[in-house]
Structure 1
Amino acid sequence: MKRRLSLILASLLLISTIGCSSNSQQISHQKDILTQKKSEGKLQITVLVKHAFSINSFEKAVEEKFPDIDIVQVGNYTSALNPDEYVARMKHDDLTDIVMTWPLDFGEEYFKDRLLDLSSYSFTTKYNVSMLDTIQKDGKLYYLPGPAQIRGLVYNKTLFEENGWEVPKNYDEFIELCTTIESTGIRAIQLGFKNPEVLDTAFVGFSYGSSFATPKDTQWIQNYSQGNGNFLDHFETALTTFQDMIDLGIWKKEDLDIDYSQRENIFFSRQSAMIEDSVLIARSGFKISGSTDEFALMPFFNPGGAGNDWARLYMVCYIGLNKHLADTQNKNKLNAVLEIMDYISTPEGQEALAADTGAMYSSLKDVPPIDVAETRDIVDALAHGRYGIFKELPNIQGTLRQGLAKMLTGELTVEQVGALIDEANRNQTSAAPNLEILGTATRNFSLLETGNFITDTMKNYTSSDIALFLDGGKDGRYNSKGVTAKMYEGDITTNDIKRILPDFKYGEKGELQEITMTGENLINTLEYSIPVDNDQTGWFYYFSGLKMKYDPTNEPGSRIEEIKLADGTDLDLTAEYTITIIKDSVPSEYIISSKNLDLLLGDLLEESIRNSKVIEPSTDNRFIYE
């Protein structure tokens, strides 16, 4: 029987987070769906979660410890995997209650007006003073350091045992091991230098002891960033080590063509014996590839004999609080959040934060290094203080990466790279990237309004009946195919397009398609969406060409309560409709026909804003939910 439903206009569900605009001390994410869970009257505490850092276990632990609290995760997933979304939220005073961020310094000019100073709260006394000293700003503490991910050289333990390879104890043994492995036709180590930042790992990891480990090293780097000295005065040993590893065939020119995800495939298919990563990847072999091998971590080895092995600490998050929690009307929420912060500042809370991310190194006092099966070969370095956070070098990091890449291709020598870096340091071109201003937004968009703008642009380009674009993920689940951020009032730049689009994975780029689908299967698509990362519950879509009443907290299959076409006519379940989508974003079994449009969504959005010059949010109330 045909399903004919009529649209009933209803009040929008408002899921609020603390925030502020220039005109108000309280702002709600109006029209936005921040969670698909039923809160059942609990106090919602929103948490901005950085890309690739899961707090699902932490959410569960907090909600068990504080039964009246509902943690709502708000994902920060930009297509460029950069901190621009944090900066935009800081600038426009659009923060969640709790903010988890990394890197630390981006948006620093907004800290005073956007974040609470935590320095007077008692829970700060539980942290290592050295950690707090490195992140305080003018005597104020806007973030607490979360636990750090333990990283090192992840090796295939099963492969090592089968071949009689032993974990080395120093740099010379490491080089000998690599040579032995390479002689078998297996790559000894593959980092994936197509991602330029991974060049930093190779440079710093095998030279940390000689160039980065001491306060004297830190002081030299600070002086150099002010234009003093020559790069090779301090880093000739590090560059020479990098060149030696090229000459020995450990780093190869073709590594520049391997990206981060490809190196995982190479590693888990036994084409390489080592990569650089964490316990999390060491435990993910079966999930990623079906590999039943065992994996573990060893430290980075530096030239200089025994006792020169180093673990890497990767700060996965710093934790701050929205300053508007201190506003009078938010007293109850502030008290709840401070309880959570006190919990975070205990070994139990640190363990909960680390639960989804593998072995972590706590920032708290008197907490010993975690000792699990995967870290047995690296725990000695941790226990004896041979660890560090790999920091970027001010002014010249990009130039250093260019120089390292050209060393791999044989275009530059150690001396030439040093001269290249010195020139960049003297010029110290700190100008912002050349971002094109595409147009202007008349006011802030909500997340829903941003989705409407995207789908309207898609539909108008093809003159299709409907356009669909996925939500970017809710409640700690990320689908890499949907809306990830909002557009804000003022200039819209090319960088804003990168912000609002997802971090497309698996080679996707956001290619546009026009498909046909029956009305019945359109409803099935809207109800169930597509499974992502083995999650069968699906996501929801933003749309153009429809009006719909929808309950995101219902089980898939019973979410749509009312639906019509945009002109008010009923959706015909047997009719075929043309729908504009991005490739692979709807269930393939429902597609009758498809046509590639040879256009990327990002390019279409840029061109649309250029042509329009001024954009504003839609006000048609097409998406009603409660």
Structure 2
Amino acid sequence: MKATCPRFRRRLAGAIAAVTLTLVAAMAGCASASDDAAPESDGKTVVSLLYAGGLDNVRELVESTYDDIEIDFQASTRTEFTSTTERQLLNGQGNDILFANQPSGIVAEHAADLSAYDFSTRYQASIMSSIKSDGRALFLPLPSNYRGVVVNATLLEQAGVVDRPQTVQELLDALRAAQEQGLGTAESGAVIGIDQSDASNLGHLLAGAAVPGFLGTVEGESWFLSFQEGEAGFGGEWLPTLGLFSALVDEGLLDVSRIDGTRNVVRQDDLVARMAAGELAAAFGTLELLNEIEAASQGYDFDLLPYPGDEAGERGWVATYPLSYMALNKELEEPGNEARLDASLRVLELLSTPEGQRALMRDTRTAGSYLNNFESAAVGGTGVGQALGDGYLYFDRFDADVAAQMGARMLDVMKGSATAEEALAELNRFCEEGPQSAAESHVLVGSVAEDVLLSDYDVRRRETALGNLVADAVAEASGAPIALVNSGGIRESLYKGDVYSDDIARVAPIANEIVVVEVSGRTLLDTLRNSVSALYYKGFPMGRFLQVSGLQMEVRVDASAEQADVPARAEVVSVRLADGSVVEEDGRYTVAVNAYLCGSAGYADGAGDGYTMLNLYSPETAPLAEDVELVDETGMTYADALGAYFERHRDVNVSPSVEGRIVMEGAPS
């Protein structure tokens, strides 16, 4: 099994006994409930699955290969999709094919044994042995990516860096040289970025950076084996790696506001564009990131380097870990599910072929497969290629829970809210007391009558029940008659039944403060126009779209105008208050928004979602708003407002709905 904190595992049973662990939704979308009979669509057997991202190539491959199978697929907004799978399994609504961040936990309890099936033997023995449970093959690994440091070789050469950086010090010196000469610098002055910067991926980045100087050594392997047995914790040997990332932020080489949730940016696409345009000199990332950057490059040469060592002469290492794991819901083995079982096994068999792996790799933007004798993407000519040729590949064995904690603690150090020593102590505390802490934070706050779903980013395109719930909660908590909630701050679904504090934390994970302002009608109308100024129905939608409370507005949409870099054309036709009166340009209105829209993170690099008409906090990035008056800084976040809302409505099943607050005439359904 992958390495969880051992003491964490030993305490898990007691924590579950102390509290009914109904895990929260980490994905959007709705699962197909399991029926005794096989679901059918036009005579086809439907195989349901839910994954954090699009699987269009997989669906096309399956349905073109098997004319009697249809894929029922729902996408999510995040990479952390295990909790939704677990929540659905506990509620008896599990999908046929399950995806999990780690090959353990509740998903493992509901996974069928695949050991007897030929396709489970097609994967590399080393990884299969590491993820087996009591000798059983419950999971299959999805493809992976080679991870290292992508550098703009052209810019570094212009900065006087001729040779590839081989050590951490050489990498820091190269970045400093680029920054000093203004080469590859963003508006913030930063010269290096990070891709896929959720907490789990940040933790895996931390582990990868620790490989050359520690984890890849004999001492590091000994430490890891002791860690697995609960006989070692995170100590001083991790300080150099934490110090590296702290130094990057302290010197302005890395902009932490782009990776800690305070800026609502489309990280992967945004990073590709900035690297390709020479606006960053480097990025911690993957081979696939390198390929995307090179495809979009504007005349620059790029390289992917292994993670550098601490000392001269140390070889750099390439890190890798499966993007996810897939399993078969063992419910399908029950009588009456024969058709779904047969169809699901055929899907897994197909995905365990080179053709299936290539479809997965296209969908997940990965570059390496764990199938035996699979020919992965070419890496020749890169620094990573040389490291791989010399056998310097490290399979990251930390599971998603530990990696997420590592990433969160790394962010604490980078933001200056904890010292490296304090961060490591907190990480060790998690390994010792994690389940109990999770139980204490898993507090019942209320209930919802039906699923309140975020599906296919709909909250960023139209009025939704979930958006109305958050907007109403903000209005109630702030006391303002009008509330405007940026949809980029709404990240997860709520499912029918009990709602817990950690459910709310996932729905609204970003800690931007709610503020109450008094604005002119003209500014209110400009704010609402900005809300619909970046609507994408084919491309990835922006988070600036506002969910509203206390207003009703009509918007006319021309979706035909949308292009790759041009949003649909949208015009605000009318705006009325809750009493039906029209918003007047010379009127004054009290509105609850959040400080992010008012410039608390500035408006550089896309921060603030373009709401410069509300600017109260950032005169250095945009003119201050002339007719916006700050009424109250509430100290509350969206999550706080939701918690208070459920507390006030504890005696009822909350039942938000779409009410016609935002009418989108001409918008695609």
TM over 0.5: yes
Structure 1 residues 18-61: Cα deviation after superposition (integer angstroms, max 9, x where no partner): 545xxx75799xxxxxxxxxx766543322112xx442333233
Alignment of 1:88-127 (within 5 A): 88-105=87-104, 108-109=105-106, 111-112=108-109, 114-127=110-123
Asked if structure 2 preserves the Cα contact closer than 8 Å seen for 1:42 and 1:69, the reply is yes
Question: 8 Å contact 1:299–1:377 — kept in the other structure?
Answer: yes
Deviation of 1:149 after TM superposition, in Å, equals: 1.6
Structure having greater relative contact order (Cα 8 Å, sep ≥ 6)? 1
Matched, 1:85 2:84: yes
* Equivalent of residue 455 in structure 1, options 450, 465, 468: 468
Note closer, same or farther for the CA distance 1:385–1:91 as it changes in structure 2 (3 Å cut): farther
1:519 aligned partner: none
Deviation, structure 1 residue 318 = 0.8
Instruction: Find the partner of 1:228 among 215, 231, 240.
Output: 231
Shift of 1:343: 1.2
Distance 2:327 2:480 in 1: 45
Checking the alignment, whether the CA contact within 8 Å between 1:207 and 1:303 is kept in structure 2 is no
Residue matched to 2:21? none
Classify the secondary structure of the residue corresponding to 1:77. Answer: coil
Partner of 1:211: 214
Residue number in structure 2 paired with 1:377: 383
TM-score (ref. length: structure 1):
0.66
| Matched residue, 1:431 | 436
Give, in angstroms, the shift of residue 400 of structure 1.
9.4
Secondary structure at 1:610 match in 2: helix
Offset, 1:173: 5.7
Which runs of 5 or more residues in structure 1 are unaligned? 1-14, 29-38, 471-478, 517-526, 546-554, 558-572, 589-593
* Residue of structure 2 in register with 1:309 after alignment: 316
**Aligned-partner SS, 1:155:** strand
- 3-state SS of paired residue (1:149): coil
Pairwise CA RMSD: 5.8
Question: Following the alignment from structure 2 to structure 1, what is the Cα–Cα distance between the partners of residues 333 and 89?
Answer: 17
Match status 1:156 vs 2:152: yes
Give the secondary-structure state (helix, strand or coil) at the position aligned to 1:301: coil
Is 2:138 the partner of 1:138? no
Q: Match of 2:318, as an amino acid?
A: A
Q: Which of 644, 647, 650 matches 1:607?
A: 644
Deviations 1:65-120 (A, max 9, x none): 23443333222336x95743333223223222222222443xx14532x2222222
1:437-448 matched pairs, under 5 angstroms: 437-441=443-447, 445=451, 447=453
Q: Which residue of 2 aligns with 1:531?
A: 536
**Deviation sequence 1:499-528 (CA, Å, 0-9, x none):** 445x78xx9889999999xxxxxxxxxx99
**Correspondence 1:161-200 to 2 at 5 A:** 162=158, 165-166=161-162, 168=164, 170-171=166-167, 174=171, 177-178=174-175, 180-181=177-178, 184-186=181-183, 190-191=192-193, 200=203
Structure 2: which amino acid aligns with 1:313? T
Amino acid at match of 1:352: A
Residue 386 of structure 1: CA displacement?
A: 1.6
Q: Contact between 1:299 and 1:309, CA under 8 Å: does it hold in 2?
A: yes
* Residue matched to 1:281: 289
Residue of structure 1 equivalent to 2:239:
239
Q: How far does residue 348 in structure 1 lie from its aligned partner after superposition?
A: 1.4
2:303 paired residue among 262, 272, 296: 296
Contact 2:161 2:174 survives alignment (8 Å): yes
Tell me how far 1:497 sits from its aligned partner: 1.7
Return closer, same or farther for 1:208/1:465 CA change in 2, 3 Å cut-off.
Answer: closer
Shift of 1:360: 1.6
Structure 2 SS opposite 1:228:
coil
d(CA) in 2 for partners of 1:133, 1:121: 16
Q: How far does residue 182 in structure 1 lie from its aligned partner after superposition?
A: 5.2
Supply the AA of the counterpart residue of 1:91: L
Identity within the alignment, %: 18
Aligned twin of 1:327? 334
Deviation for aligned residue 1:291: 5.5
Query: In the alignment, what sits opposite 1:548?
Result: none
- Residues 510 and 327 (structure 1), Cα distance of their counterparts in 2 relative to 1, 3 Å cut: farther
Change (3 A) 1:26 1:63: closer
User: Among residues 246, 249, 252, which one is paired with 2:250 in the alignment?
Assistant: 252
Q: Given the superposition, is the C-alpha separation of residues 175 and 291 from structure 1 closer, same or farther in structure 2, using an over 3 Å criterion?
A: same
